[in-house]
Amino acid sequence: MMKKRTGLSKTQSKRYGSLVAVLCGRKPYYTFLEKLKEQEFVIIDQHSNSQEVIITEKGQNEFERLTRLAGLPSWSDIEKI
């Protein structure tokens, strides 16, 4: 019988941390940012001087998915408290 895996894989953890950084108004490390852009989880606002990183709906959905996989409460769960 295989042991059920819990938590996030290394790749998922990096993606989750990068999405958290974006949600906190910070830019993730370049290599992580490039992966987020390739997978369409974020876009860069080319019109802003600061090249602001903006999370997409797909990125928000991935953040929620990884939050649940990690066993953490979602934003909607926290708002109920």
Q: What is the pLDDT of residue 49?
A: 80
Q: What is the pLDDT of residue 3?
A: 59
Specify the residue for token string 């709906």.
57
Structure token digits, residue 42: 């974020």
The pLDDT tens digits for 18-47 are 999 999 999 999 999 999 999 999 999 888
Structure token digits, residue 65: 């998915």
pLDDT of 4 above 70: no
Alpha helices in the chain (DSSP H): 10-23, 30-38, 57-69, 75-80
Domain ranges in the chain?
A: 12-71
